[in-house]
Amino acid sequence: MINCIDKTKKPGFGIRLLLVPTIMAVTLFLINPLAADAGESVLRLETAVRQAQLNDPWLAGNRHSQDAVESLSVAAGTYPDPKMTLGLVNLATDSFDFNQEGMTQLKVGVSQMFPRGDSLQIRRKQLELIGSQFPFQRQDRKAKVVVGVSRLWLDTYLAQESIALIEKDRPLFEQLADVAEAGYSSAMGRIRQQDIIRAQLELTRLDDRLTVLRQKQETFVEKLSEWLSDYFIEEYSDQSKTGAPVAWASLVVDRKLPDIMMLNPSLYSAGREADPQVLYEFFSQHPVVAALDQKIEASKTAIELARQKYKPEWGINASYGYRDDDPQGNDRSDFLSVGIGIDLPLFTGNRQDKQVESAQSQAAAIKTEKWLLIRKMIADFEKSRTQLSRLNERYKLYNDELLPQMREQAEASLTAYMNDDGDFAEAVRARIAELNALIDSYAIDVAREKTIVQLNYFFMKDADDIIKESAVTGE
């Protein structure tokens, strides 16, 4: 250990001793990373998701689409408007005298058509079923927004914390470079020129990693801004802008990783695949499947609507013809006409029969969409479940074995170097390896949270359930 070094026997000890305070500070940080500065404005995951849902124009557009279909369903259940005709009949063209000919009339007529069978009621029911899909679509959209925004938030968190780790560890490598340069200049110890170059190289590589991570962080923040910004919100929502514009470039996410509660955790504990029938019972209640069920029901009414084509369409008409007196002044009787019109669907082989067959095939095609969706959901669940199982294994391996071992290796390499019993390059490599392991452990934590969010999407009943935190979080 560091405190067991024989100060009287090792040259260059005074220079290497300068490393101790920095190493202790870095080690303390790696064990317990600092929280965000007091009073600093940070973006929590729940806040980001809520804001994204409020600002989503898709939801507003979906509500308008539902209103349009519901209004159309009312109109579709109403009889067509009656038709009125007004005409001058049998007017003599030689004199254009209204009372010259006995058949000359001023004729007013009214007609009304009646649709086939129950087609009005069926069409109205069909549109009502189509309109009933929209609330389920909005539920699914809100859930997908939660998943998408959560992934972006977690990606931003990983980039931000990786930057914090490197920036906190960078002083150590600067100290190593200074010590190597001082030792080489004073010819104390076994410092070589290549050690100085190696130290500077590692500093340069750290700077490059910081640049890459900052680029990733900025990219994720800009993607988040697409969901969080309230630009033009007045154009599609009753809401109005609140507060000053957000400086997206300086956005900071909460440094505390949320502990998201898993929904139906018993399905993940088994080492084998879950029973498809059990998964079907869960997935059949999912909003995206419920919306498809309404679409299937609407397609069934399309079959009934096509069958109404076998029934006749009919209408009534009535007209009143006014006649003027004859040239001698005698009164002429006016005319009243009443009639019924009807079409006879006698030749149904190439029209009505084919329309019914088409509606039946369309309904069967929509049913296959449901089974394709269920199969995909089951496959995606199994993929995510397996991924979570492996991530849990890595999480335990890192925390129980790998991180402690990497820390011990780094301390041992540095102690050996300070006692002139180790290589400078090995001490640097050990510290780099420890830093990489810490960043990898953060990546595993974030990957676990992403997978849990995706799995919760399959079983949620409300979009807010997807990122609900465990009860022990606040303890």
Which domains does the chain carry?
A: 8-474 (1.20.1600.10)
- Residue that the structure tokens 């410092």 belong to: 191
Q: How far apart are the first and last CA of the chain?
A: 36
- Tell me what pLDDT residue 99 has: 84
pLDDT digits (tens, 9 = 90+) for 52-84: 999 899 999 999 999 999 999 999 988 999 999
Per-residue pLDDT at 8: 37
Count of alpha carbons within 13 angstroms of residue 146, beta-carbon side:
26
Look at residue 467 and tell me whether its pLDDT is greater than 50: yes
* pLDDT band for position 248 (cuts 50, 70, 90): low
Cα-only R_g, the chain: 39
| CA separation for the pair 464, 462 (Å, rounded) | 5
The answer to whether the CB of 150 falls within 8 A of the CB of 468 is: no
Residue 164 predicted with pLDDT over 90: yes
pLDDT at 1: 33
DSSP-derived secondary structure for 404-444: HHHHHHHHHHHHHHHTTSS-HHHHHHHHHHHHHHHHHHHHH
Cβ count within 10 A of residue 93: 5
pLDDT band at residue 3 using 50, 70 and 90 as cut-offs? very low
Q: Is the pLDDT of residue 347 over 70?
A: yes
Q: What does the pLDDT average to over 170-181?
A: 72
Residue 317: pLDDT band by 50, 70, 90 thresholds? very high
In this prediction, residue 199 has a pLDDT band, given cuts at 50, 70 and 90, of confident
Q: Is a pLDDT exceeding 80 seen at residue 425?
A: no
pLDDT confidence bin for 245, thresholds 50/70/90: low
- Dihedral of the CA atoms 24, 257, 259, 151 (nearest 10)? -140
Q: Do residues 129 and 304 make contact, with C-beta atoms less than 8 angstroms apart?
A: no
Q: Is it the case that residue 2 has pLDDT exceeding 90?
A: no
Taking Cα atoms as reference points, which of 33, 35, 41, 36 lies closest to residue 250? 41
pTM recorded for the entire structure:
0.81
Taking residues 127-149, report their average pLDDT. Answer: 96
Q: Name the strands in the sheet holding 314-322, side by side, starting at the edge strand that comes first in the sequence.
A: 83-89, 105-114, 314-322, 335-342
109 strand-pairing partners:
85, 319
Greatest extent of the chain over all pairs of C-alpha atoms, in Å: 150
Residue with tokens 């927004």: 145
Mean pLDDT throughout 11-32? 44
Residue 252: per-residue pLDDT: 87
Q: Residue 7: what pLDDT?
A: 35
User: For residue 97, what pLDDT is reported?
Assistant: 87
Judged by DSSP in three states, 336 sits in: strand
Q: Nearest to residue 276, comparing CAs of 376, 368, 346, 182?
A: 376
Residue type, 172: L
Task: Answer whether residue 361 shows pLDDT above 90.
Answer: yes
Give the pairing of strands 83-89 and 335-342: unpaired
Question: What is the rounded distance in angstroms from the CA atom of residue 162 to the CA atom of residue 428?
Answer: 19
Check residue 144 and give its pLDDT: 96
**Two tokens at 151?**
């992934």
Highest mean pLDDT among 10-14, 100-104, 167-171, 293-297: 293-297
Q: How confident is the model at residue 153 (pLDDT cuts 50, 70, 90)?
A: very high
The fraction of the chain above a pLDDT of 90, given in percent, is: 54
Q: In this structure, what DSSP letter does residue 260 have?
A: B
Whether the per-residue pLDDT at 249 is higher than 70: the answer is: no
Q: What is the pLDDT of residues 365-410, one digit of tens each?
A: 999 999 999 999 999 999 999 999 999 999 999 999 999 999 999 8
Tell me what the pLDDT averaged over the chain comes to: 84
